[in-house]
Each structure stands twice: as C-alpha cells, then as structure tokens.
Amino acid sequence: MNREELEELLKMIEMIAEPKEGQTFLQGLMNERLARSAMFSLQEKCASSLWQESVEHKGKNEK
C-alpha cells in the first residue's frame, strides 16, 4: 500500500466518523464504531506489511 492509497483511506475513514446533520445519536455512534473498526483494520494491515518487509529484508541480508 503506497502513501497516496493510505491517505485516501484515512480521508474516507474521517468522513465516516464525521457527524452528519439529521442523524440520530445512535447512528453517530454506529458510524464512529465503523470508523474505529476500519482504522484498526488499516493499522493491522500496515503492521503486517511492515513485518513482511522486515522479514524479506532480513532474508536478503543473510544471503
């Protein structure tokens, strides 16, 4: 995942979390929970990607 894709995803998550006019309190909570879930998934994906890169880098150094 490159920087542009990451920034676009973050913008989309922020849009989900923003309160919207006319929505109920419960809808706002649900949107916030959805945004937090998306952020957690994104963090997990980035951590996994970084871990994979470090393993590949370590393997190249051992050769």
| DSSP state string for 27-61 | HHHHHHHHHHHHHHHHHHHHHHHHHHHHHHHHHHH
Amino acid sitting at position 11? K
Question: Using one digit for the tens of pLDDT, what is the confidence trace for 47-57?
Answer: 888 888 888 88
**Domain contains 3:** no
Task: Tell me the per-residue pLDDT of 1-56, one tens digit each, with 9 for 90 and over.
Answer: 678 888 888 888 988 888 889 999 999 999 999 999 999 988 888 888 888 888 88
Q: Is residue 60 part of a domain?
A: yes
What pLDDT, on the 0 to 100 scale, is given for residue 37? 92
Rounded Cα distance, 28 and 40, in Å: 18
In the predicted structure, residue 63 carries a pLDDT above the cut 70 = no
Tell me the pTM. 0.68
Q: Is residue 50 part of a domain?
A: yes
How many domains would you assign to the chain?
Answer: 1
